[in-house]
Structures are given as structure tokens and as C-alpha cells.
Chains A and B, each alone.
Chain A
Amino acid sequence: MAKSETPLLDELEKGKWPSFVTEIKKAAEKSPMANDLLHQLELSYKDRIGHWKHGGIVGVKGYGSGVIGRYSDRPDLFPNVQAFHTIRVNHPSGWFYKTDALRSLCDIWDKHGSGLTNMHGSTGDAILLGTTTDHLQTCFDDLSEAGFDLGGSGSALRTPSCCVGPGRCEWACVDSLDLCHHLTMNFQDEIHRPMFPYKFKIKISACPNDCVASIARADFSVIGTWKGDIRIDPAEVEAYASSDLNIQREVCDLCPTRCMEWDGRQLKIFNEDCTRCMHCINLMPKALRPGEEQGATILVGGKAPIVEGALLSWVLVPFMKLEPPYEEIKDLILRIQDWWSENGRSRERLGELIKRLGMRTFLRALDLPATPQMVKAPRTNPYVFFWPEDIQQEVK
């Protein structure tokens, strides 16, 4: 038997979890590109270092975004991955697919690329992993013919994504699927033609469980919520009480605001103190439901550490109703992007710009009121700026 050329990677075909090495080998049976990828990766495992050259600017006509160029630093050994570009394909809202659509994506990719994908990239796109420069345009043309478009990359609006929402969740307070699709269609130009100081991401979660991690992974986070009372079904509460759920310990004692009372028969919620964290609803989905007046909280600024440190998005608009045609939220996004485009430095994320210029400047530019919901606590230092009009002018 011939000695394996990929002894290190072969180890990763063992074990119970589905193996990415098996996936690359499957593709390698048909694609010389995938075969060279496999062998270059084996070299990386041996050398403990990546073997891709820095950067690479490639794309398709009419767009400045959507393709990530990549070149091997060992084309002498692996000529079929000399160029190995990624194409980001905008996924349908909530990653729902009909098999015929997925098959047409596979047919196009087998024709133009390595036969390898990521389902999906972290931002949400379907990732087509590895093709040559001369296939980019023809691949795009075929994708477009089949009803698919590219997603975002570079200093553009990136592909918006959302949780499964009303498609399959009783807690959805906004139509995350529809809003995501609507915003994606509305901002096609901003996605395909980079025009901002840096990247800008929108993610929509339909409740505070935040199943797309909007608060951590988006500059503009839309998270569903409600006003008014949590709806209680007393019969179902009783059913939980006679199950193995300990309502006092597991529900009431873990409520962050201690706004619940359980006397062994009846559950009371003092809704004015509830911060809608979802814990009680998560534990008793049959008995408790979000309130009927539904909308979303808009938070801004989330990003990873580079350059100034990681940020979680913070509250900008405590409550906004979200219904088609979504004029209010579209207008807010436009005003934020205008202000950021005007004031942002090169490669400065929205969160960093707000930190640099201050929330008061940002709020004034957007004509939004300051509210206590925006802060965990008021400031502790006395270094307070006042606007000129706050000050009594000199008496003549």
C-alpha cells in the first residue's frame, strides 16, 4: 500500500465528529484545486504556519465587494491553488433553503470552483471556497441567473443576518426574517460598493435571547422586545409546578430583578420591575409569553477588539415599532451612516467613533433624546461638557 501523503490530516478523519478532512478529500476526488488545498494544508500542519500570501484584490464587474482574493505562497508545490479566491453568496434570511436552490448552488460551484464551501461564514454568507480569477465573472453570472447575489466584504455594509424568528419561534417579537430581507434589498448599493470608513454589520434577533449574537457581532443590533405584561397561562403554570421544575428556585430566585412571586399555587409578576431578560419565559414556554405590544430595542457599536478594544452594542433607541415598510429604522440607519461617513477616520468602526466624539455629539447629530436606558449608571467623573446654549450669556 502506498504511503499516505497526508499523514497528519489523516489523523483528523478519525473520531466521532464529522471530519473537514473527509470533506476536502471528497472534493479532491473531482477537483485538482481541492487536492492541492489538501496537500498545502498538510504542509501547514507540518510547518505549523499558514501558506497563504497576503491579501489579493479581485472581484466582479460592477461590485467592489463580495470576493476575497487569496494566493498560495507555494505555487511551485501547489499550482492549482496559486489563486484560491472565496466568493461570498448572500444567504436567504434565517438560512432556510429548499433543496433545489442548494443543488443549483452546488452545480454552479462544481463548474467554477473547488467544490468546497462553508455553510456558513460567521456573518451569514454561504462561502464558496476557492476559485481562479478567470472564473469569478462567469461564476457570478451563473449565480445571478440562478437567483443568488454576492454578499458584502471590505468597507461596505456586510450581509445582514437574523435569527429564525417567526419562522419557528414563539418568542419572536419582530419579524426578523422579513426585516433582514427588506434591509438587505433596500441597501444593495451599500453592500456591493464599499463607501464607508470601514465595515458595518446589521444583525437582527427577534428576542433578548439573541440567537444571532447581534449585541456582540453587529455595529447596528436590532433585538426584539415588548412593553406591557408577560402573558401568563395559570393552568400551564400549574402543570409546570407538578413537573420536576422547581418554580421558586429555578425561576423566581434566578429572576435578575426579583420581580416574581410564587406562593405554591399562583405566579405573580410585577411587570414594572421586569427587565425582559427571558429567563422565566425560557424555562416555562408553555405558561409564559412575551407581552402583546412588541417591537425592538436598537443598540449600536458592537465589534471585536481591533483597534481600541472589544465593544458590546449599547442602547440607542429603547423601543421602536417595526412594521413594513420599516421607514423609521431605514431612516435611522441612513442618518447613522451619514454621520459616521462624515466623521469616521479610515478603518474606524462606528463604536470607536462614538467613543471618540462622545454619545452627546452622536445623539445631537441624530436628533435623539438622551434616556437613562442608555447607561448602566451615570458618569462618576465631573469632567462635564456643556453646550453653549446651556450657558447664561453675558448680560449687555
Chain B
Amino acid sequence: MTTDIGPPDYKTMIPPVVQRNYGKWLFHEILKPGVLMHVGESGEALYTVRAGSPRLLSTETIRAICEIADTYCDGYLRFTSRHNIEFLVSDKDKLEPLLEELARRSYPVGGTGHSISNIVHTQGWVHCHTPATDASGPVKALMDEIHEYFVTMTLPAHVRIALACCLNMCGAVHCSDIAILGIHRTVPKPDNSRVPNLCEIPTTVASCPTGAIRGDMKNKTVTINNEKCMYCGNCYTVCPAMPIADPDNDGISIWVGGKVSNARSTPKFSKLAIPYLPNNPPRWPEVVDAVKNIIEVYAAGARKHERVGEWIERIGWERFFSLTGIPFTDKHIDDYEMATETFRSSMQFKWR
């Protein structure tokens, strides 16, 4: 039994053209949506073809991808930080045949420049125990509807979409242009017969951001102050005897305006746009429509290079709500620890 060998050395996984030009790239160009050309100081070029992926892949599909990479890329490929597949082509003559083959096999090629690339997402009902929604389903439903934005570069700037199936926010939901987040709306129900055997009570009490949980030491269980609970589900994460999932009340919230890059403005968190939409499998039409609406209003109103968050900060939040037609509610007003920092302490606002 060998342990602690770590991952394969990346040096054994990079194509010869990368080895030769490693750290000596001079510039790049986007030749067309999904196709990049990187040129080294040596004058040598590497062509990259980026293809969309459902992230959840069967070994059969991985083998098919390998076959393509063997034919056109001398057996080299990579995956991106948004789960796309990149075919690394060193022979320019193989570029068009590769694109034709991908088209034949219906792999979408795109995700470069001012496009909507893949959706960073999580496990959902496929594998997690704490989700308030599915991940793969809503992602598929949405990408089908906004496919055109993946294969073209017509937006003012790139738009990053992410989905997390619960408030743990695995992935990049808290810093994306548009984010889809699974939420609960009902208080968990402690099972007093199971809490004593399954849960560590102090950990459960400490898991609550609003201090809604108290230990009931006499009965070796916990009690929840329903008024203080905002259904985050973190107590269920640490204590299995406090189930929270509720098919009729779980659903999805939509967030906007986050970014991680430093270009122009500093990184930003996403902010609440829509507090609740229902889980409506298999195609989540309410969620798909809401996201499409935001994309379309943004695409029509934003200036070139302006990310969603930068556009909203320029026009103002009151205008974001009036332009998108999204109702503003009391749920949009922060009431957690630093809430007052988000209040408008000025006379500068628009009437709509």
C-alpha cells in the first residue's frame, strides 16, 4: 500500500508545444467563439478549442473525449476552472477537422470572450444530503435556453452564472454575475428521540448563525426559537436528527452582481434579486425565465466591458428593479450583522 504520492506531476501531462513555450507566451487572440490562439516568443502557436460539458460525465464519454484528443491533439487535453473541456491543438491543419468532428458529435464550442460560459454547480439530488434544490437539472434547463450566449460573444462583458443547491454555497455563487441558490423556508424539526444518540449538542447550538438553537440538557436534545430561525440548514449539517427539507417550500433564490476579477472594479459579492422561486422539475421554468430576463435587460442596458455588478452600480439598484420588473420586498433589506452598512444614508436616489 503506497500512500502520500500526491497527484501525477503536471509536467508529464502537458503537450510538447506547452513544454517548449512554458512561461514564454507573448499574446493570444480569440479567433472565433470557443477558439483561442496563443503565440509564444518563439513564434510557435497553440490552438485551443473549448467545448461545453455537463460536468457529470460517464467514463464512456471521457473515453470518447480521449479518442478525439488522440486524433487531433496528440493525446493532450485539459479541463477549465468552469468544467469545460479544452482540446489543445499544436497542428493548425487539424483545427478545422476537429471543429467539424465536434459539430458532428454535437459538442457545443464556445465559452470565450463576452459570452456566458459553463455554469459552476454542485451535487443537488444526485449526491448530496443537504440540498434545497437540484443542481444538474436547473443547469441543463437554463443552458438549453441560453445556448446562444455560449456559442457567441455578443454580450457587453462576460456573464458568470453559478448554482449552489444550499446555503453552504459550494462553488462560486457568492461572487457571480448571476447566481442561483437553493433555499429552505421552513424551520427544521428536531427528532427528540434521535438527537441524543446522533448529535453533539454544543456543536449543534454553535452551528446557528442567529442563535436560534438552545440546548435542552435535561432531555438531551435541543429546542429551536422559530422566530429567530432563517432556515439556513447548518444545524442539519452537524446534526442528522434535524431534517429541514420540505418539497412544497424549498426552492430557489436569484442573486446578481458578483465578480472575482480585479479588472476595473474590485471583486464584489452577489446580492439578492429574487428571494424565492419554486422548485419545478424537470425544467424549472420560473427560474429559467427570471435569469433570461435579467440577462436580456443587462444586455440591452450595459455599456461595453461593464459586468452585471458594474452596470447595476452605475444605474442604481432602484433602477435595476424598475428595469427588470422584479418586485422589491422587505426580504431584500439586510437584517443580519452588518445590515445598516447596506442602507441608503444619502439623499441621492432616483424615483424609479
Point out residues on A near B: beta carbons under 8 Å: 8-9, 11-12, 14-21, 23-24, 26-27, 30, 34, 37, 41, 44-45, 47-55, 61-63, 70, 84, 86, 90-103, 105-106, 109-110, 115-120, 122, 129-130, 141, 144-145, 147-149, 161, 163-164, 166-170, 172, 175, 177-178, 181, 184-185, 188-189, 192, 208-217, 250, 254-256, 275-279, 282-283, 285-286, 304-310, 312, 345-347
Which one of A20, A211, A307 lies within 8 Å of B55 (CB-CB)? Answer: A20
> Is B57 a contact partner of A119 (Cβ separation < 8 A)?
yes
Name the B residues within 8 Å of A217 (CB-CB).
171-172
Name the A residues within 8 Å of B83 (CB-CB).
119-120
Which one of A23, A55, A96 lies within 8 Å of B61 (CB-CB)? Answer: A23
> Is A97 a contact partner of B78 (Cβ separation < 8 A)?
yes
Q: Which 8 A-B pairs have the closest CB atoms?
A: A15-B144, A54-B240, A166-B23, A17-B143, A93-B10, A44-B125, A99-B66, A90-B7
Is B175 located at the chain interface by the 8 A CB criterion?
yes
Is B48 located at the chain interface by the 8 A CB criterion?
yes
Interface residues in B1-51 (C-beta closer than 8 Å to A): 1-10, 12-14, 18, 22-23, 25-29, 38, 46, 48
Which one of A8, A26, A100, A306 lies within 8 Å of B58 (CB-CB)? Answer: A26
Knowing A94-B78, A122-B170 are in contact, say whether A168-B48 is a contact too (CB < 8 A).
yes
Interface residues in B233-263 (C-beta closer than 8 Å to A): 234, 236-238, 240, 245-248, 250, 260-263
> Is B4 a contact partner of A168 (Cβ separation < 8 A)?
no
* 16 residue pairs bridging A and B, Cβ less than 8 Å apart: A16-B144, A17-B147, A24-B56, A90-B7, A99-B75, A102-B77, A168-B88, A181-B10, A209-B262, A210-B261, A213-B172, A216-B260, A254-B264, A255-B264, A277-B264, A307-B207
Interface size on B, residues (CB 8 A): 114
Knowing A48-B279, A181-B9, A304-B168 are in contact, say whether A169-B25 is a contact too (CB < 8 A).
yes
Which one of A15, A185, A310, A346 lies within 8 Å of B6 (CB-CB)? Answer: A185
- The A/B interface has a contact count, at CB < 8 Å, of 344
> Is B56 a contact partner of A129 (Cβ separation < 8 A)?
yes
Name the A residues within 8 Å of B48 (CB-CB).
168
**Can you list, as one digit per residue, whether each of B166-206 has a CB less than 8 Å from chain A (1) or not (0)?**
01111111110000000000000000000000000001001
> Is A208 a contact partner of B261 (Cβ separation < 8 A)?
yes
Summarize B's interface: helix, strand, loop or mixed.
Answer: loop
> Is B262 a contact partner of A210 (Cβ separation < 8 A)?
yes
Minimum CB–CB distance from B268 to chain A (whole Å) comes to 9
Name the B residues within 8 Å of A61 (CB-CB).
1
> Is A256 a contact partner of B264 (Cβ separation < 8 A)?
yes
Identify the closest chain B residue to A68 (Cβ): B127
